[in-house]
Chains A and B, each alone.
Chain A
């Protein structure tokens, strides 16, 4: 790319591209920072940090409740008579 161009042009190009890279990096950092703060506020308002007990239990439901083991080797299921 820039390496095969005449030296002055190459230099100008790389300086220009660095400029855009910096613009990109800084605006992205700004954007990311603002989004993060906004997300945090949103999560707090939504009650994500309240009642963590329920959060830790949300992976269970009536079909697969707490206290039930939900995975075993296939043969042991077959052995119980209903194998496929």
Chain B
């Protein structure tokens, strides 16, 4: 105790010595004499460092792109892993969640307000027109299966091409609808074509559907026409 004291360059309390002298007796009675300076075991320090390494690994592995827009935690670096093509019906079902509030899960719409998708000529008909509808939305009087609707169909341009194609494929093949799949390329070219055209009216949409598509976007032959 006094060794420690002498080797210590800083004198702490003048009366410290006496404090210790008075209490030697008390300290001997303690169950387990300790002095508060048990050193940190080396194994403990090594374990901590190994653990830190694991943390670093996790951070590198799940760090995404380390950019503001890297929403996916994998992959990073290395050869780009191409996401396997999604089943359009599955993806379409997910996207359709956004349509359900208006067109209903049954695809029958709400009479007088929202038109049906089941059996609709717009759904089963020209794919280019369907993509155009989804891309820009519709406003104003609109006739579906002989009924007139007058409300607003929002634009879905913020979805990816793949997602629009998937939801189109989904509505074309559900509730008894049967038609071929919507090609992603077609959605891509329609997106360019209709860019800046604004919401469709009944008339402008018909006009658009009547004009010939640019050569690249001709739908494959055999698509069911109304």
Please tell me whether chains A and B touch each other in their complex, using a CB distance cut-off of 8 A: yes
Q: Which residues of A line the B interface, CB within 8 A? A: 47, 50-57, 61-62, 65-68
For residue B19, CB closer than 8 A to chain A, the reply is yes
For residue B192, CB closer than 8 A to chain A, the reply is no
Shortest Cβ gap from A45 to chain B (Å): 11
| Cross-interface CB contact of B26 among A51, A54, A55, A67, cutoff 8 Å | A67
B residues 20-36 near A (Cβ < 8 Å) are: 22-23, 26-27, 29-30, 35-36
Q: Which residues of B contact A55 (CB under 8 A)?
A: 36
Please judge, given known A-B contacts A65-B19, A65-B22, A66-B27, whether A51 and B36 are in contact too, CB under 8 Å.
no
| Cross-interface CB contact of B36 among A50, A52, A61, A67, cutoff 8 Å | A52
The CA of A62 and the CA of B18, in the complex, are separated in Å by 9
User: How many of B's residues come within 8 Å of A, CB to CB?
Assistant: 17
List 15 contacting pairs A-B, 8 Å CB cutoff, sorted by A: A47-B9, A50-B9, A50-B10, A51-B8, A51-B12, A52-B36, A52-B37, A54-B12, A55-B36, A56-B35, A56-B37, A61-B19, A62-B15, A65-B19, A66-B23
Q: Which residues of A contact B26 (CB under 8 A)?
A: 65-68
